[in-house]
Amino acid sequence: MTEKLIDPQAAVDFMIAKSKAYAIAEGNKTYMEELRKTIKAEQMIEAEEMGHKTAAMQEREAYASGRYREHLIALRQAVEAREELRWMLIAAQARIEVWRSQEASNRAEGKATI
């Protein structure tokens, strides 16, 4: 097995390059979570206007609405995008840690051979 060289600077550059995309993905996720509440409220108002008197009936109609289901799909996509970026950044951090460990081992080997 050949050992792959790890370039810690490339890992840091990657983290810097992806930081804006991660921030946007996190913002989108939070926005979508909060917008879900607004959609539910609007759908409950619409259900009330259609004659559904109780809050439970309105809530049922809101959750069953096509608009709410579409929003959940968009929320899922926002979370997937954020999580993919988050794990890519975690992997870059792990590469730096592996490099540090390799460098420490190399230094220890160098001292042992002297």
Going by the DSSP 8-state scheme, the letter that residue 114 receives in this structure is: -
Both structure tokens of 104: 């420490």
State residue 114's pLDDT score. Answer: 59
Residue 15, Cα to own-chain centre: how many angstroms? 15
**Chain segment 49-108, per-residue pLDDT in tens:** 999 999 999 999 999 999 999 999 999 999 999 999 999 999 999 999 999 998 888 888
| CB-based contacts of 11, cutoff 8 Å, min separation 6 | 92, 93, 95, 96, 99
Average pLDDT over residues 31-41: 96
Average pLDDT over residues 4-20: 88
State residue 113's pLDDT score. Answer: 65
Domain residue limits, the chain: 8-112
Least confident of 2-11, 39-48, 86-95, 99-108: 2-11
Q: Residue 43 in contact with residue 68, Cβ under 8 Å?
A: yes
Q: Residue 56 in contact with residue 44, Cβ under 8 Å?
A: no
Average pLDDT over residues 33-59: 95
- 2 pLDDT band (50/70/90 cuts)? low
